Amino acid sequence: MKYSYCPVCGTILVDKAAGDDGLTPYCEHCDRYWFPTFSDCVIVLVANEYNEIVLAKMPYLSHRYASFISGYMQPGESAEAAAKREVQEELGLSLNRLEYSGTYWFGKNNALMHGFIGKTAKQNLKLSDELASAEWIAAGKAPQFMFPDSPGNAASAVYRNFIQKLSA
Ligand SMILES: [Zn+2]
């Protein structure tokens, strides 16, 4: 989000040169720059020892397509802690291992997605109320249930990483 007014005092911001960053909204009253802000989210592909992965349906996203577990990071939390927390909250699973898969810009939500691959032993899922459904699916069969691949589709990018590592 690009600021027009100072979030602290409400003064209208002026453009002021900020070194290499160029013209940046600036509050003359508070004497500070307000750089654009965005959200940080995690998205986690959860896999078990049989190379099955969890596909979940979130009612607010789509009834047709399934995706991986995702959620907003909280202030003070690391991306790794957020990934473990979301998987615990939404599926009732604690992860044995967590690998970073990369970051993906999701312009529609003004969010930077931090992708992870999480590993756990196969066990029953305890779904939170946020999920319409979630199940273990053989990794090779997952794409037909997922959102079509497109630029900025973090789930597809994490999935490709996972498949590459399997065949490496
Ligand atoms: Zn101000």
How many domains, the chain? 2
* Burial class of residue 144 in the structure, from the number of CB atoms within 10 Å of its CB (0-12 exposed, 13-18 middle, 19+ buried): exposed
- Rounded to whole angstroms, the Cα distance separating 15 from 33 reads 9
Q: Which residues are registered as beta bridge partners of 111?
A: 39, 106
| 32 and 49 housed in the same domain | no
- Rounded to whole angstroms, the Cα distance separating 54 from 117 reads 11
pLDDT level of residue 43 (50, 70, 90 thresholds)? very high
H, E, C per residue of 125-165: CCCCCCCCEEEEEEHHHHHHHECCCCCCCHHHHHHHHHHHH
| 148 and 93 housed in the same domain | yes
Q: How far is the CA of 18 from the centre of ligand 1 (A)?
A: 16
pLDDT level of residue 89 (50, 70, 90 thresholds)? very high
Q: How far is the CA of 26 from the centre of ligand 1 (A)?
A: 8
pLDDT level of residue 152 (50, 70, 90 thresholds)? confident
Q: How far is the CA of 31 from the centre of ligand 1 (A)?
A: 7
Rounded mean pLDDT of 95-104? 96
| 6 and 80 housed in the same domain | no
Residue 44 has pLDDT above 90, yes or no: yes
Q: How far is the CA of 35 from the centre of ligand 1 (A)?
A: 13
Q: How far is the CA of 47 from the centre of ligand 1 (A)?
A: 47
Q: How far is the CA of 10 from the centre of ligand 1 (A)?
A: 6
| 86 and 51 housed in the same domain | yes
Query: Are 142 and 55 contacting, i.e. CB atoms less than 8 angstroms apart?
Result: yes
Q: Provide the pLDDT for residue 58.
A: 83
**CATH number for position 122:** 3.90.79.10
Q: In this structure, what token pair is assigned to residue 12?
A: 């209208």
**How much is the mean pLDDT over the chain?**
94
| 28 and 78 housed in the same domain | no
| 17 and 76 housed in the same domain | no
Q: How far is the CA of 99 from the centre of ligand 1 (A)?
A: 41
| 23 and 53 housed in the same domain | no
Q: How far is the CA of 22 from the centre of ligand 1 (A)?
A: 20
Rounded mean pLDDT of 123-143? 94
| 5 and 31 housed in the same domain | yes
| 87 and 126 housed in the same domain | yes
> Domain range holding 144?
39-167
Rounded mean pLDDT of 157-165? 95
| 154 and 99 housed in the same domain | yes
